[in-house]
Structures are given as structure tokens and as C-alpha cells.
Amino acid sequence: MSNLVRITREQDVAVLTIDNPPVNALSTDVRQAIREAIEQADNDNSAAAIVLIGAGRAFVAGADLHEFQKITSSASQRIPELMRLVERIEDCRKPVVAAIHGYAFGGGMELAMSAHYRVASPSAQMGQPEVKLGIIPGAGGTQRLPRLAGVAKAVEMCSLGAPISAAEALQLGIVDKLMEGDGDGGLLAKAVAFAREAVGKPVRKTRERNEKLAPNAAVFAAARDSIRTKQRAPRAALAAIDAIEAAATLPYAESRQVEQKLFNECLFSDESKALIHAFLAERELAKIPGIPKDVPAIPINRVGVVGAGTMGAGIAMVFANAGLPVVIKDVDQAALDRGLATIQKNYANSVKRGRFTQQFVDERLRLIRPALSYDEFADVDIVIEAVFEGMTFKKEVFAVLDGVCKPGAILATNTSYLDIDEIASATKRAQAVLGTHFFSPANVMKLLEVVRAKATSKEVIATCMQLSKKLGKVGVLVGNCRGFVGNRMFALYRREAQFLVEEGADVQAVDKALYDFGMALGPLSVADLAGLDIGWRMRKEFRHLQKPGVRQPFAEDRLCEMGRYGQKTNAGWYKYDENRRAIPDPEVTAWMRQWAAEAGIPQRQISAEEMVERCIYSMINEGARILDEGIALRAGDIDMIYLNGYGFPSHRGGPIWYADTVGLKKVYDRICEFYERHGELWEPAPLLEELAKDGKGFADFSCERAVPV
């Protein structure tokens, strides 16, 4: 018998403990072990009942996603059969009780629903989150959940994927009883006693319980309408509804087949492969070559923020939300007051929208202390500098911080583009200097680029990576170069969007093409939102680095010269009304045509396909360089940056994953065409060329080749 499932006895009750750390995922071996243990316990006449429980911190978090990834990327297409296992459990002749603590998600929830009874600790969470991975429950979840919780709740849970608490599960009838205690710490003994009470009562097979199964055409129709309007990639959510409708209208033997068919179709879809990649890539981020998990982190108990502008105010909120006291400094009282007013306004909006309670907000506001003097930074453990973008400002601030802050305090900059090594050179503690690049609005956006400079110590990196988790951010370690990973690639995406307009495309057509591809907003709308002046200033600062004779976009510079900075001036690529609604501006179109004629740029019809290729492939080409230089550790790290900071559609997995989906040969060939037509800005990256010529993908590129950052 495998040690993945232990069988022990509590007198007449057989206890089956699933033990597959960290979260008891249902790999092939675990499923096999459960099956053998169930057979043994069911056939053991001296056992009157069975308790199924998880070891460690959870019942079961679901099917093994590493295994799904292997299956869908191989030719064999052998899908693990969990369906027959849950039916075998349900067919046991003696009562089976699932004892749930931690999580029962996906296949774990399906396993639990096949037991005859479920008990749970009050802190447990349950759910069918498969839809977030582009699949549907594949082991009877769409068949048993409506029988336990009713059709409407099952539709909601399977099509949206949000978990429910144990208390709600009890109220819905999914769980039979709540019991204090986790796992071995009390829950097991109580579950055993519960199982003993069930001995002698007829076993209740969930698949035969039809009392809550009434089909409800209105529920299905409303759910489908809502999914179609809200989700950009609705395949899995719609399939989940179809499978529940089948459960409500067909005999079980037929409807289970419907679920299986839909599950298989979803599992092999591009959306699901991309979403599972994203889930696993996010978990890889914490694994940093050369920095083992046991590198000690520096305790962070007090925080300083320099600059109470757009970013500084948001960053102060991020730390306060995590319960950390923050001192925030600006140059004068007026600037501080503006920053604090922004913070208060943002919190008030959160209370209005029901995200936070007033009490929570009051507590957070008490954690934020305004200051006009650097003396207040003497005892902070980390400072985030968020003053104007400009090397001179930053170096001045860092020199002062170095003198004021206690030894060992981390000095971090929120710069978007500047060289962190040069900033560090203003201090005598380069090992404690790094970039923490938050995204706007900092209190909302999940991404945090942690930028490692030459001298940054392992402890400082480990601290900031762990801190990112505490702050609720997705921290991605990147190397030091202009724009780091995200902005360096995005600059090319935005450049191409401008070129397209300069070559004759409509502003709205460019935005629509990229929106239809799945981006949260089109590139020109994003530019208006962020402020056209930011890029304008940046281009002026770095103009000396431009190669003479190489084409540069001019459209946004011209708009800025006219005072059109985007939403903040009610005009940019679009005009904006008092509700910040974008209105197409025919004047912009006329100017573009005039400026293009003056610059001698031939005008032509450009297809939506080319618009997408130009914008996305330019990023992919740069991504290949970034990987080759070791600025990103893994292809998946770049994808995480794009999914969490740039509105890239998660169902496409990120730009690098997407490139592999299209096929690198195809991407490379098209880039070569652009190179021929548009010149050196499109020179193919050597890594892209190499992989394409070898018939490989970015997934074949190993991070060991990356220069250690």
C-alpha cells in the first residue's frame, strides 16, 4: 500500500488519510492509492464506517495541475479518470464521511461530495474553481453540486469559481455538520464519532438525491447572458452551465457523459493551457536560483515613503493595508496634504463600494503618519522612494536617506526607467538598494517588479520577494535595465500603436483590434489613461540614446506639445467628457493625416490582424532579448508581469506563452517581414531566431542559460 494514503483504525472506523504535501493534489498515484484504500476498507468486515481526511493543511486542493499540464502538452491525451473513483466511493456499502479542513477545491470538492456525509472545520473553504483554469469540474462536480446546493447555487459556483465558507456550505446543505479543530487537531476524532452514528443508517448516494434538482430555464438563461457580457473567454463558464443543465434534465448515466465530454474539450483548449500555465508560473516566481528559501529575511515592521504624489500615496496605502505603520514625506505641507487627501478619497471610495469597512479604513489611516523631515525615517526598516523621475532628484534623496536611516535599512526606489546601480552609487550601502517598481494605481495593481542591482544582497532580495506576498502583490524578480521588463517591452508595443496611426490606421481601429485580442484596454486608451506626458518626458530624457536615422514615433510628442496629455487634460488621443468617457476626436485624425503627409509616410489600409501582430510581436521580440540577457529568469516570469501589470488577457497566458501558441516559426517569419519593410527596429532577436530555426518554443528555453542577475 502506498504511503500517499494511510489506512489506520479508530476501533470500528477505518480512517483514510490522504498525504501528498503540500496540498494533497490528486495525482495519478494518489487516485490509485485512494482507490486501493477504499477497496480495502469497504471489503474489511471489521470496519463499520470510513472517514476520509487530508493530512497537513488541507483536505484536497484538487487535481494535480502539473499532471494536467503534462497531459495537454504531450501527444498521448490520456486524461486521468477521477469520475470512476468518486463513483466507487459513493458505492461503498458502509457510510463514508469526508472530514474537511483547509480547502476542498475542484477534485477535492468532488471527492468530498461523493462521500455519504461531509463534516468540516469552521475555517474550511470549499469550491469548484476549475473555471478559473479554463476547465469545468471533471469528476461529477456539475452533477453532485446541484443535487446538494440547488441548481442556481451550483451554476454560480461552477461558472464563477469563487469559494464558499464552511458556514455557507452548511447552510446550503453541502456540509452536514461543522466541527471545531483542524485535521488531526480535533476534527478527526469528531468525524470518527459522527461516522459511528451513521452506521446502520441507509447510505445516501449523492448522485441519487434529486430533491433540489428541478431544472430552471430562467436561471440558466440569465447566467449565460451574464457570462457572455462579463467574460472575455467564456468557453469554460458556459460549458459548466451546460453540464449542470444536463444534470437537471437527463438521467445521471447520460449527464455524467456530457460533463466528461465538455471537460475534455475544455482541458485541451488554448484558454485552459494558458490559464494553467499562469497558475503554475505564478508559483514559480518565489523560486530564485542562488537564493534558497532559507535565506533569512530582514524583519520589516516600519516603513518610510518619500513622495506623496500619485505613486507614493498609493504605496503608503499598500503597506497600511498590510498592517504596517508608514511615515510618508513630501517637500512641503501643501504636497503632503494633497497626498493625504488622495489617500482619504481612495479609502472613502473603497468603503462606498463595500470593499472595506469604515472601521478598517480608520485603523489604516491611523497607521499613516505624514512628515516633512527625514528625521522621521531614522527607525524605519525599508524606505520606498517615489519622487519625480529624474536621476538628479533620486540621487539626492538616496544620499540623504543613507545618512538618516539606520544601518541595515533597505532603500528602495520606485523608478520606472532609471539605472538602479547609479542610484545606489549615491549611498554607502549599495547592498541594501534595489528597485520596487509598483504599478499605478499602486493600491490596486497586483504587480511588483523587484529590481535587482549589481550589489543588492540576497537577504534584501529575499526580504522584498517575501514582502510582496505579505502586501498581496505578485512579486517578480527582474534585472536592472532601462524600463526593466514590463516597461521595456511595453514601450515597443506603444511605439507600434503610434506607428500604425501614423501609417493611416484609425485611433479607434487600433484600440479595437487590441481590445478584441483581449487586452483590458487598447494601447492608445492606455496612453491617455497613464498620461501622454510621462512618455514624452522620458523620450526627451533619453533622446541622446536614439540612433540617428532610425524611425521614431512623433504623434504623441505632437499631442503633448498641444497640451493634450490624455485624461488628465480631458484630451489626448481622444476627447473626454466630465465622466471621463472617451469621445473619438476627428481633429486628431485630421492632424495625423497632415503630419504623416509632412513626414512623407505613405498611407494605407491596415488589417486588424496586422495591428495585433505589430503591437504584440514587437513585445515578443524584445521579450526574447530580455530572456537572453537574463533580465527575466524564466519565460513565465515575463508572462506574470504582463498578466498582473499590463492587462494582457490571462486566457492567452502572457506574451511569451502566446508566442509559443502561435508557433515561434510563424512569429519569427512575420518579424522578418516587418524587418524588411520597417528596418532595424524589427531586427529579430537572436534567441527568437535560434529557437524558431530549431523548431523549438520559449518553453524549451532553460533559465540556466540566463546570466545570473
Residue 65 in the binding site for ligand 3HC (CB under 6 A) = yes
User: What is the per-residue binding string for ligand 3HC in 127-146, x denoting contact by CB under 6 A?
Assistant: --xx--x---xxx-x-----
Residue 283 touches which of ligand NAI, ligand 3HC, none (Cβ within 5-8 Å per kind): ligand 3HC
Residue 566 touches which of ligand 3HC, ligand NAI, none (Cβ within 5-8 Å per kind): none
> In angstroms, rounded to a whole number, what is the distance separating the alpha carbons of residues 472 and 257?
40
Contact range with ligand 3HC by CB under 6 A, out of 59-67, 88-96, 190-198, 379-387 = 59-67
Instruction: Select 103 or 493, whichever has its Cβ closest to ligand 3HC.
Output: 103
Q: Contact with ligand NAI (CB under 6 A): which of 26, 104, 317, 397?
A: 397
Residue 643 in the binding site for ligand 3HC (CB under 6 A) = no
Q: Contact with ligand 3HC (CB under 6 A): which of 30, 50, 64, 195?
A: 64
Is-catalytic flag, 110? Answer: yes
Instruction: Select 257 or 333, whichever has its Cβ closest to ligand NAI.
Output: 333
Q: Which of 85, 66, 102 is nearest to 140 (CA)?
A: 85
> In angstroms, rounded to a whole number, what is the distance separating the alpha carbons of residues 66 and 421?
38
> In angstroms, rounded to a whole number, what is the distance separating the alpha carbons of residues 117 and 550?
71
Residue 478 in the binding site for ligand NAI (CB under 6 A) = no
Residue 416 in the binding site for ligand NAI (CB under 6 A) = yes
What is the DSSP code string of 138-200? -SSHHHHHHHHH-HHHHHHHHHH---EEHHHHHHHTS-SEE-SSBTTBTHHHHHHHHHHHHTT
- Work out the end-to-end distance of the chain between its first and last CA atoms, rounded to an integer number of angstroms: 46
Residue 569 burial (10 A CB sphere; 0-12, 13-18, 19+): middle
Q: Which of residues 374-393 bind ligand NAI (CB under 6 A)?
A: 386-389, 393
User: What is the per-residue binding string for ligand NAI in 181-210, x denoting contact by CB under 6 A?
Assistant: ------------------------------
Residue 202 touches which of ligand 3HC, ligand NAI, none (Cβ within 5-8 Å per kind): none
Q: Which of 627, 630, 613, 610 is nearest to 691 (CA)?
A: 627
Strands (E), 336-417: 368-371, 382-385, 410-413
Instruction: Select 142 or 350, whichever has its Cβ closest to ligand 3HC.
Output: 142
**Which set of grid coordinates corresponds to residue 288?**
530564485
Instruction: Select 440 or 589, whichever has its Cβ closest to ligand NAI.
Output: 440
> In angstroms, rounded to a whole number, what is the distance separating the alpha carbons of residues 117 and 68?
29
Residue 441: asked if its preceding bond is cis (omega within 30°), the reply is: yes
Residue 409 touches which of ligand 3HC, ligand NAI, none (Cβ within 5-8 Å per kind): none
Which H/E stretch holds residue 304?
strand 303-306
What is the DSSP code string of 241-301? HHHHHHHHHS-HHHHHHHHHHHHHHHHTSHHHHHHHHHHHHHHHTT-BTTB-TTSPPPP--
Q: Contact with ligand 3HC (CB under 6 A): which of 22, 202, 354, 549?
A: 22
Q: Which of 616, 611, 564 is nearest to 592 (CA)?
A: 564
Tell me if 454 sits within 8 A of 425, measured CB to CB: no
Residue 63 touches which of ligand 3HC, ligand NAI, none (Cβ within 5-8 Å per kind): ligand 3HC
Other CB atoms within 10 A of residue 290 CB: 9
What is the DSSP code string of 190-244? HHHHHHHHHTTSPP--GGG--TT----HHHHHHHHHHHHHH-SS-HHHHHHHHHH
Tell me if 539 sits within 8 A of 547, measured CB to CB: no
Phi then psi dihedrals of residue 520, to 5 deg: -60, -35
Residue 166 touches which of ligand 3HC, ligand NAI, none (Cβ within 5-8 Å per kind): none
Residue 648 touches which of ligand 3HC, ligand NAI, none (Cβ within 5-8 Å per kind): none
Residue 6 three-state SS = strand
Tell me if 187 sits within 8 A of 179, measured CB to CB: yes
Instruction: Select 55 or 400, whichever has its Cβ closest to ligand 3HC.
Output: 55
Instruction: Select 43 or 333, whichever has its Cβ closest to ligand NAI.
Output: 333
In whole angstroms, the minimum distance from the beta carbon of 557 to ligand NAI comes to 18
What is the DSSP code string of 501-527? HHTT--HHHHHHHHHHHT-SS-HHHHH
Tell me if 164 sits within 8 A of 123, measured CB to CB: no
Residue 331 touches which of ligand 3HC, ligand NAI, none (Cβ within 5-8 Å per kind): ligand NAI
User: What is the per-residue binding string for ligand NAI in 288-327, x denoting contact by CB under 6 A?
Assistant: ------------------xxxxxxx---------------
> In angstroms, rounded to a whole number, what is the distance separating the alpha carbons of residues 55 and 52?
10
Instruction: Determine the angle formed by the axes of helices 586-599 and 507-517, rounding to 10 degrees.
Output: 100
Q: In sequence order, what are the beta bridge partners of 436?
A: 450
Contact range with ligand NAI by CB under 6 A, out of 72-80, 231-239, 412-420, 501-509 = 412-420
Instruction: Kindly name the residue from 90, 110, 259, 385 that is annotated as catalytic.
Output: 110
> In angstroms, rounded to a whole number, what is the distance separating the alpha carbons of residues 345 and 351?
10
Residue 667 in the binding site for ligand 3HC (CB under 6 A) = no
Is-catalytic flag, 130? Answer: yes
Contact range with ligand NAI by CB under 6 A, out of 127-135, 196-204, 408-416, 629-637 = 408-416
Q: Contact with ligand NAI (CB under 6 A): which of 162, 214, 222, 331?
A: 331
Residue 330 touches which of ligand NAI, ligand 3HC, none (Cβ within 5-8 Å per kind): ligand NAI
Instruction: Kindly name the residue from 36, 39, 81, 130 that is annotated as catalytic.
Output: 130
Residue 61 in the binding site for ligand 3HC (CB under 6 A) = yes
Instruction: Select 33 or 311, whichever has its Cβ closest to ligand NAI.
Output: 311
Residue 632 touches which of ligand NAI, ligand 3HC, none (Cβ within 5-8 Å per kind): none
106: left (phi over 0), alpha (psi -120 to 50) or beta: left
In whole angstroms, the minimum distance from the beta carbon of 303 to ligand NAI comes to 15
Q: Contact with ligand 3HC (CB under 6 A): which of 16, 25, 510, 596?
A: 25
Tell me if 461 sits within 8 A of 448, measured CB to CB: no
User: What is the per-residue binding string for ligand 3HC in 88-127, x denoting contact by CB under 6 A?
Assistant: ---------------x-xxx--x-----------------
Count of chain residues binding ligand NAI (CB under 6 A)? 23
> In angstroms, rounded to a whole number, what is the distance separating the alpha carbons of residues 571 and 577?
9
In whole angstroms, the minimum distance from the beta carbon of 130 to ligand 3HC comes to 5
Residue 310 touches which of ligand NAI, ligand 3HC, none (Cβ within 5-8 Å per kind): ligand NAI
**Which set of grid coordinates corresponds to residue 564?**
493634450
Residues in touch with ligand 3HC (CB under 6 A): 22-23, 25, 61-66, 82, 103, 105-107, 110, 129-130, 133, 137-139, 141, 283
Residues in touch with ligand NAI (CB under 6 A): 306-312, 329-331, 335, 386-389, 393, 397, 414-416, 439-440, 530
Active-site positions read 110, 130
